[in-house]
Each structure stands twice: as C-alpha cells, then as structure tokens.
Structure 1
C-alpha cells in the first residue's frame, strides 16, 4: 500500500485499474452497496475495488470478492467479463480539491447467485438488490453502475 501523499499523486497523474462485480440473485436482481467513500460517495454502486501493483487478475478478483463480499471462495473463472469501462470522477478518495479520479474498470458478472451471509461495511453502509430496470431508473444509483445495465454515461 502506498503512503497517503504518494497515492494522491498517483491518482492525480494516472488512471487506476479496477474490477467491479455484478452479483445476481435468483430473481433477477443485482447487489448494490451504498458507498461510504469518495469517489461516488453516497451513491448506490456495485461492489468492486482497485487492482494492486504486481497483483495478478485472479488474485485481485479473489481479494476484492473477499473484501467487498466477505467471500473467500469466489474465482474469476466463475464470472464473465462483460466489458472494459471508464469511470471519471471530479473528486478523489481524499477530497483534495483539483484532483480528479480516472478508473479503467473490468466489469465481471458472476454466472449465478452466491450465498451472501454477512456483508462487510467498510465500503458500503447498506446493501440492496435491484433489477436492471430499477437500477437504470434510480437517480441514487451512480451512472457508472447504470452503464453496466444499459444506462448511458453523462458526457
């Protein structure tokens, strides 16, 4: 992990690479979490996280599933890559003015539902299930999440 100031310089100078997880349930809904941290603070968003330097994609996928879902047994081979997305934010993790955040995100959809017993609360204050139609229609769902379900990103 980079020290705070060094990571802030990285966010200011480069895109970050991340994985987002689209987790379906048995009745057509997808898991959303209410974001605690910037960027996208206060919005509903799919679980996800940054890939770390020298971290293999499979290792990153497992770590993100563990950190975001509390699951240690979710493998990238159980998901399909739905696309590569750009997430652009005017703010950053620290709230430091004048520094935007740029993510290149690999969106993965799990092929089927998984058991979710106790979801972590470090990144999200609450969780809910929503259908693709509900996600697209709900202004409290971040546009970057809506894009996974056919919504359009603002220009």
Structure 2
C-alpha cells in the first residue's frame, strides 16, 4: 500500500523512508535483485473504495479492492527516485531475507465495472510525499502559503489558473472532482499558477501532479472567468478564477489514469458532450 506522508509524522513506512532518503541523497536498500512483485495502491484510494462499497453497493456482497498496478520492488524504487529527481545510484541491493514472498496480487475482475479498483502511480504518490517533506524542511520564505494568509487571498482577489483540455482516444479526459468548488462534477484538470511560474510551465506541472502523466501543449484557447458561490476554505463562501485554457495531448500512448486527493476517477468523454458543468461545456464548445 502506498501511503501519503502525514505532515507531522516521522517516516516509518518503506515508501515514506525511501522518499525521505531520496530527498536527502541517502541509500535506498532493496532486497535481493528487486524482482519481488507487489500490487501498489494508494492508501487514500483504498479508503475511498471501502467508503464507496459501504455507501453504494449490495449488502452481503464481497468486494476486492486492488489497483492492477503491479511493479517489482526495483521498479517502484526507480519510480520514487524519478519522482524526486534523484539518481538510480542511490539504490543499494542488500541480502534478501529468508522466505521473502515473490509476488503479492489481488484478483479484482468482478469489480472492473465499478469504481472500486482504483490505484495511483508510485511516481505520483512519491511527488506528493516529496512536497510534504520539502514543506517540513524548506526555508520559511519558500514554504506554501499558510492557510490563514491563503484564506485572505482567496477572499479578496481572483486566482490565476490554468485548465487542461486533454485530448485522448478521440475524446477529452475529465476527472470527477472530490473537492469544492466543483465537488462531484466531471471537470478538466487544472490548478493555480505559482509566482514566477509561466502559465505553460504550470500546465506541465498540473499534468504531472493530477494525472501522473506528461502532456504536449497544442494551443491556447484563451482566458476565461469562472465564478463559484462555494469554496473549500472555511470562512470563504466564493471563489473567482482567471483561467487560461490549453488544448493538449498526452505524451505517452498508453497512460494509466488513477484517482488522487482531488479526483475519484478519470474518464474519456466523447462528443456529443451533455450534462457537464457549464464551464467545462464552454471549453468543449470552443474545443
């Protein structure tokens, strides 16, 4: 299980410790030749699947929660290193332990038509842990804006953001939002632009953070104003975005999409586009 690093905890789980070691340029010990296979699933996605089964499924039915994301320990370690920008020479092969299981996996075929089997990229989860670790150790001037100051910003000024109209399989990739202001809606990937970050740079960062994939920008569609009468921030009852939309496509032919903290699922929508959020509909009309 791939576990997100809590903001006030000392890493004790392998994924936590490996991410910490990679950030600190310390060795990452790997048993044997690293060929042992594990099925990786993000803890929050596993919890989301349990909650979904409790709320929406049949009483007495048995559900298996898996990700179909099998990787060897070596592949998982290499993905973590790639996520934090560390070199493979940090890998330190150590003597294999006795009775080390060669493979763990779970058959979840019966759940293929449900939203239970949802995983997350190891690389993507490592980036999440890396941001937490850096937030704990970086200088104060470089840390994320404190919640109280962020609340003041959102309450008083519009947010500059980018939205990604990602083309895939002759359609457009949308994610089902798990947070306000578009909670429960199928929406395009997007996020705020950071200070000193070009909007095109923000597009690539958002794609990596939300999709775990790289994208190629095809064209800019212009800037749109979005007004919401709700917010995920306590004490703030509205949000205002100045969003620049970019049409882009995935850099890889066979991507693997997965849920994250902001999305319960991803799906490719094909024309005609109906019953979508008005702001998404506006993008697709211009697309």
Alignment TM class, shorter chain as reference = 0.7 to 0.9
Deviations 1:87-116 (A, max 9, x none): 10011122535x310000010011577442
Q: Does 1:85 align with 2:242?
A: no
- For 1:6-155, what aligned pairs fall within 5 Å after superposition? 6-26=149-169, 28-71=170-213, 73-75=214-216, 78-96=217-235, 99-110=237-248, 114=252, 115-134=254-273, 137-138=274-275, 141-150=276-285
- The answer to whether the 8 A contact 1:35-1:42 is kept is yes
RMSD between aligned residues: 2.0
Q: Find the aligned partners of 1:17 and 1:10 in 2 and give their Cα distance.
A: 12
Higher strand fraction (1 or 2):
1
Q: Which runs of 5+ in 2 are unaligned?
A: 1-143
Shift of 1:66: 0.5
Deviations 1:10-56 (A, max 9, x none): 01100001111111123x21111100111111111011111012222
Scaled by the length of structure 1, the TM-score of the pair is: 0.82
Higher helix fraction (1 or 2):
2
- The answer to whether the 8 A contact 1:21-1:48 is kept is yes
Q: Which runs of 5+ in 1 are unaligned?
A: none
Deviations 1:33-83 (A, max 9, x none): 100111111111011111012222233122111111102x435xx321012
Structure 1 runs of 4+ off > 4 angstroms? 111-114
- The answer to whether the 8 A contact 2:215-2:248 is kept is no
